[in-house]
């Protein structure tokens, strides 16, 4: 596996699973997970999956009722072992079975990573051996372990940059933090060589399984057996605190024997699901496309959508943007979109039941509930809408006396009193969607063809689409690797999200234009072309057209 960028994480072509096996054999460790996957076939009657883990939980004072572990080619999962009524406790896990750390409010996952490695090194004598031995040797689909082709196929810098950061952290932690103290009293691993690969395995296991049962700023915990539940946005079970510090899995509706028992990992977008868990949810209602709010980008979006610049002397042929009037500068600063302490991360998002926050960098495995977005069903986050309204208003009066706050200016269902300014803002948003779409190569259909294994069609479509589509390795090969398929699925969903947002904004423009007085829509300084989707979705010819993702 190769690190994106210059640093080499490990020998190219050696999978993280193999590296962990090497690490384990070097330390005389064994994995029942390896046996379960067929490495050591047993002719006798097959044991129930993870039977040793179930026995360990029960003998430690826990209980397992009406639920069983299942195993298929995708790994472990839980299923109802019998019909179960709503509200039943399926698993009760006493505190001595929680792998966590105390005496500290350190919320980082590092302490948990240390613990997982330390217990793995301790081997059979560890109290957690039945848990550690059933952990997967690799978490399939994590982009941290993608090769360069699969990482490139994501075409989405917010995720690829995060992957690079994690890989850099692993290398620097193993080389600069661990290596110098190896063998000393401060060494958490008692002199054992724990390299970036072993840490990478532990990081993958922790990010894909840890629960923040005590809140986002409190230490996380691994909950054996409970963490075999897979994710659904329509779960039939939940995690809840039980008596005596125990953690329980409780059925949230009646279960029928044999059906999978699923929990929600939280209202997470696909960036987060991919980075931490190695899978994506198609049409994920919490998904977003992240952008960096930047005046140049907004001006480019205006150009794409055919929206005239506000009357502040912008020269559309110059790369230099003239300074903004003081009222706009102050307004952007009030929205924290400019100035010191600005947070320019904004997002376009899916209109769904519970829209996600603009950030994908929240704490891992949060079990917090989703908070409905302000302003109803908005396809963009309120800060983005507010910022674009400010930059599309010809003067402060066009904001209609609204206080410059996200609450006031970021409401989708509360347009500016000045209809021309509101229409200009909405058209600018269509331009923004078009620019974001243009950052991806190829179309949704190209990606669908790739996933359907029709590389020739995809290649032809790619050439037709201005010679850009999937990477050559995607189009040339007959079969995408699993990681590449995941990457293509990921980017295809992002494109769909942007097309949906484009359609929703265009619909809103039509509604508002129709409700405005005749001539009102034209007075917005926009064109019907913008109302119909803005710029054809390619952003060509736009100043700063190359800008986009954060
Ligand atoms: C907490 S573990 C669940 C147990 C896991 N399946 C196992 O084999 O141990 C989380 C991992 O399960 C898989 N997973 C969970 N829910 C999934 C879903 N809805 N689709 C695909 N994979 C899922 C992913 O590999 C994820 O990293």
HEC secondary structure over 255-279: ECCCCEEEECCCCCCHHHHHHHHCC
Q: Which ligand 1 atom sits closest to the C-alpha of 262?
A: 16
Q: Which ligand 1 atom sits closest to the C-alpha of 71?
A: 8
Q: How far apart are CA 489 and CA 155, in angstroms?
A: 11
Q: Whose CA is nearest to atom 26 of ligand 1?
A: 277
Sign of CA dihedral 433, 438, 440, 442: positive
Give the model's pLDDT for residue 463: 57
First to last CA, the chain: 26
Q: Which ligand 1 atom sits closest to the C-alpha of 134?
A: 9
Q: Whose CA is nearest to atom 4 of ligand 1?
A: 228
Q: How far apart are CA 137 and CA 124, in angstroms?
A: 17
Give yes or no for residue 2 having a pLDDT over 50. no
Contact 176, 168 (CB under 8 A): no
What are the structure tokens assigned to 195, written together? 């390299």
Of the candidates 118, 133, 122, 140, which has an alpha carbon nearest to the alpha carbon of residue 224?
A: 133
Q: Which ligand 1 atom sits closest to the C-alpha of 278?
A: 27
pLDDT band at 464 (very low <50, low <70, confident <90, very high): low
Ligand 1 center–CA 265 separation, angstroms: 10
Ligand 1 center–CA 365 separation, angstroms: 12
Q: To the nearest whole percent, how much of the chain has pLDDT over 90?
A: 58
All residues at 6 or more sequence positions from 291 whose CB lies less than 8 Å from its CB, including other chains = 297, 345, 346, 347, 348, 384, 432, 436, 548, 549, 550
Give yes or no for residue 468 having a pLDDT over 70. no
74-114 pLDDT tens trace: 899 999 999 999 999 999 999 999 998 875 656 578 888 88
How many CB atoms lie under 10 A from the CB of residue 486?
Answer: 22
Q: Is 179 helix (H, G, I), strand (E, B) or coil?
A: helix
Identify the weakest region by mean pLDDT among 321-325, 433-437, 488-492, 496-500: 321-325
- Highest mean pLDDT: which range of 314-318, 515-519, 528-532: 515-519
Contact 303, 542 (CB under 8 A): yes
Give yes or no for residue 149 having a pLDDT over 90. yes
Residue appearing with tokens 């103290």: 181
pLDDT band at 525 (very low <50, low <70, confident <90, very high): very low
Averaged pLDDT, 23-48? 53
Averaged pLDDT, 523-549? 37
How many CB atoms lie under 10 A from the CB of residue 82?
Answer: 12
pLDDT band at 214 (very low <50, low <70, confident <90, very high): confident
What are the structure tokens assigned to 84, written together? 């179960």
Give the model's pLDDT for residue 429: 98
Q: Whose CA is nearest to atom 12 of ligand 1?
A: 230
Q: Is 52 helix (H, G, I), strand (E, B) or coil?
A: helix
Pocket (CB within 6 angstroms of ligand 1): 75-77, 136, 139, 208-209, 227-228, 230-231, 277-279
Q: Whose CA is nearest to atom 20 of ligand 1?
A: 279
Averaged pLDDT, 44-52? 83
Query: How far apart, in Å, are the Cα atoms of 339 and each of 178, 335, 344?
Result: 39, 10, 10
Give yes or no for residue 366 having a pLDDT over 60. no
Give the model's pLDDT for residue 125: 96
Q: Which ligand 1 atom sits closest to the C-alpha of 141?
A: 25
Give the model's pLDDT for residue 44: 66
Give the model's pLDDT for residue 239: 96
Q: Which ligand 1 atom sits closest to the C-alpha of 136?
A: 9
Of the candidates 219, 203, 201, which has an alpha carbon nearest to the alpha carbon of residue 211?
A: 219
Left (φ > 0), alpha (ψ -120 to 50) or beta: where does 87 sit? left
- Highest mean pLDDT: which range of 27-31, 173-177, 327-331: 327-331
Q: Which ligand 1 atom sits closest to the C-alpha of 76?
A: 8
Q: For residue 460, how many C-alpha atoms fall within 13 Å in the half-sphere facing its CB?
A: 4
Query: How far apart, in Å, are the Cα atoms of 131 and each of 205, 241, 498?
Result: 12, 20, 42
Return the higher-pLDDT residue of 358 and 316: 316
Ligand 1 center–CA 63 separation, angstroms: 23
| Burial state string for 179-198 with b = 16 or more CB within 10 A and e = fewer than 16 | eeeeeeeeeebeebebbbbb
Averaged pLDDT, 359-387? 58
Ligand 1 center–CA 237 separation, angstroms: 15
Contact 462, 470 (CB under 8 A): yes
Give yes or no for residue 372 having a pLDDT over 70. no
Pocket of ligand 1, candidates 231, 233, 280: which has the most ligand atoms within 8 Å of its Cβ, to mutate?
A: 231
pLDDT band at 325 (very low <50, low <70, confident <90, very high): very high
Give the model's pLDDT for residue 352: 64
Pocket of ligand 1, candidates 139, 279, 483: which has the most ligand atoms within 8 Å of its Cβ, to mutate?
A: 279
Cα Rg, the chain, nearest whole Å = 26
Q: Is 344 helix (H, G, I), strand (E, B) or coil?
A: coil
Q: How far apart are CA 415 and CA 422, in angstroms?
A: 6
Q: How far apart are CA 297 and CA 546, in angstroms?
A: 9
487-498 pLDDT tens trace: 999 999 999 999
Identify the weakest region by mean pLDDT among 178-187, 311-320, 359-368: 359-368
Averaged pLDDT, 247-270? 97
Give the model's pLDDT for residue 548: 52
Ligand 1 center–CA 277 separation, angstroms: 7
Q: How far apart are CA 193 and CA 523, in angstroms?
A: 70
Of the candidates 445, 486, 490, which has an alpha carbon nearest to the alpha carbon of residue 469?
A: 445
Contact 419, 284 (CB under 8 A): no
Ligand 1 center–CA 373 separation, angstroms: 28
Contact 248, 93 (CB under 8 A): yes
Pocket of ligand 1, candidates 131, 277, 490: which has the most ligand atoms within 8 Å of its Cβ, to mutate?
A: 277
All residues at 6 or more sequence positions from 92 whose CB lies less than 8 Å from its CB, including other chains = 62, 63, 242, 246, 247, 248
Angle at 452 between CA 451 and CA 458, to 5 degrees: 75
Ligand 1 center–CA 278 separation, angstroms: 8
Give yes or no for residue 534 having a pLDDT over 70. no
Q: Whose CA is nearest to atom 15 of ligand 1?
A: 230
Averaged pLDDT, 511-531? 56
Averaged pLDDT, 43-66? 90
224-241 pLDDT tens trace: 999 999 999 999 999 999
How many CB atoms lie under 10 A from the CB of residue 397?
Answer: 12
Give the model's pLDDT for residue 522: 43
Give yes or no for residue 310 having a pLDDT over 60. no
Give yes or no for residue 508 having a pLDDT over 70. yes
Of the candidates 331, 490, 293, which has an alpha carbon nearest to the alpha carbon of residue 421?
A: 331
Q: How far apart are CA 187 and CA 184, in angstroms?
A: 5
Torsion on CA atoms 249, 252, 258, 259, rounded to nearest 10? -110
Ligand 1 center–CA 233 separation, angstroms: 13
- The length of the chain in residues reads 550
Of the candidates 264, 270, 265, which has an alpha carbon nearest to the alpha carbon of residue 289?
A: 270
Greatest CA separation for the chain? 82
Give the model's pLDDT for residue 51: 95
Q: Which ligand 1 atom sits closest to the C-alpha of 140?
A: 25
All residues at 6 or more sequence positions from 456 whose CB lies less than 8 Å from its CB, including other chains = none
Q: What is the DSSP letter of 404?
A: S
Q: What's the whole-number average pLDDT of the chain?
A: 81
Give the model's pLDDT for residue 14: 42
Give the model's pLDDT for residue 357: 40
pLDDT band at 543 (very low <50, low <70, confident <90, very high): very low
Give the model's pLDDT for residue 308: 80
Ligand 1 center–CA 139 separation, angstroms: 9
Averaged pLDDT, 157-184? 90
Give yes or no for residue 49 having a pLDDT over 80. yes
pLDDT band at 499 (very low <50, low <70, confident <90, very high): very high
Give the model's pLDDT for residue 523: 40
Ligand 1 center–CA 83 separation, angstroms: 23
Give the model's pLDDT for residue 515: 84
């Amino acid at each position: 596996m190769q690190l994106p960028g210059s640093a080499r994480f490990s020998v190219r072509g050696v999978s993280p699973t193999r590296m962990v096996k090497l690490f384990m054999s070097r330390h005389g460790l064994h994995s029942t997970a390896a046996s379960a996957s067929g490495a050591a076939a047993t002719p006798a009657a097959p044991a129930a999956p993870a039977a040793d883990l179930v026995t360990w939980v029960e003998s430690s004072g826990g209980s397992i009722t009406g639920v069983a572990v299942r195993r298929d080619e995708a790994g472990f999962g839980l299923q109802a072992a019998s019909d179960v009524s709503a509200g039943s406790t399926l698993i009760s896990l006493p505190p001595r079975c929680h792998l966590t750390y105390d005496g500290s409010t350190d919320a980082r996952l590092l302490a948990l990573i240390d613990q997982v490695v330390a217990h793995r090194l301790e081997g059979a004598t560890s109290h957690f051996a039945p848990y550690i031995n059933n952990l997967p040797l690799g978490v399939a689909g994590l982009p941290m372990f993608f090769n360069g082709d699969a990482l490139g196929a994501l075409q989405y810098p917010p995720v690829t940059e995060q992957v690079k950061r994690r890989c850099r952290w692993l290398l620097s932690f193993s080389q600069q933090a661990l290596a110098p103290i190896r063998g000393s009293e401060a060494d958490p691993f008692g002199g054992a060589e724990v390299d970036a690969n072993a840490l990478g395995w532990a990081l993958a296991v922790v990010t894909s399984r840890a629960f923040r049962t005590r809140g986002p700023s409190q230490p996380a915990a691994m909950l054996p057996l409970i963490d075999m539940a897979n994710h659904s946005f329509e779960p039939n079970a939940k995690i809840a605190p039980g008596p005596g510090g125990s953690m329980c899995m409780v059925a949230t509706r009646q279960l029928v024997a044999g059906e999978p028992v699923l929990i929600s990992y939280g209202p997470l977008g696909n960036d987060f699901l991919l980075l931490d868990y190695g899978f994506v949810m198609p049409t994920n209602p919490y998904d977003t496309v992240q952008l960096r709010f930047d005046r140049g980008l907004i001006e480019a979006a205006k150009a794409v959508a055919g929206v005239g610049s506000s009357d502040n002397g912008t020269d559309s042929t110059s790369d230099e943007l003239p300074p903004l009037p003081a009222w706009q500068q102050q307004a952007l600063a009030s929205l924290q979109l400019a100035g010191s302490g600005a947070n320019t991360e904004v997002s376009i998002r899916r209109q769904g039941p519970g829209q996600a926050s603009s950030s994908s960098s929240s704490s891992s495995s949060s079990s917090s509930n989703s908070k409905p977005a302000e302003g109803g069903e908005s396809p963009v986050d309120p800060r983005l809408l507010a910022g674009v309204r400010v930059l599309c208003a010809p003067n402060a009066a066009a904001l209609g006396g609204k206080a410059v706050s996200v609450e006031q200016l970021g409401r989708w269902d509360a347009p500016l009193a000045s209809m021309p300014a509101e229409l200009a803002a909405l058209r600018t948003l269509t331009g923004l969607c078009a620019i974001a779409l243009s950052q991806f190569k190829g179309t949704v259909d190209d990606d669908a063809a790739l996933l359907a294994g029709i590389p020739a069609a995809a290649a032809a479509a790619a050439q037709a689409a201005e010679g850009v589509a999937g990477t050559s390795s995607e189009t040339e090969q007959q079969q995408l690797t699993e990681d590449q398929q995941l990457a293509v699925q990921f980017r295809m969903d992002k494109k769909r999200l942007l097309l949906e947002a484009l359609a929703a904004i265009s619909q809103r423009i039509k509604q508002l234009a129709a409700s405005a007085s005749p001539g009102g829509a034209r007075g917005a300084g926009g064109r019907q072309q913008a109302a119909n989707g803005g710029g054809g979705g390619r952003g060509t010819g736009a100043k700063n057209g190359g800008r986009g993702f954060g």
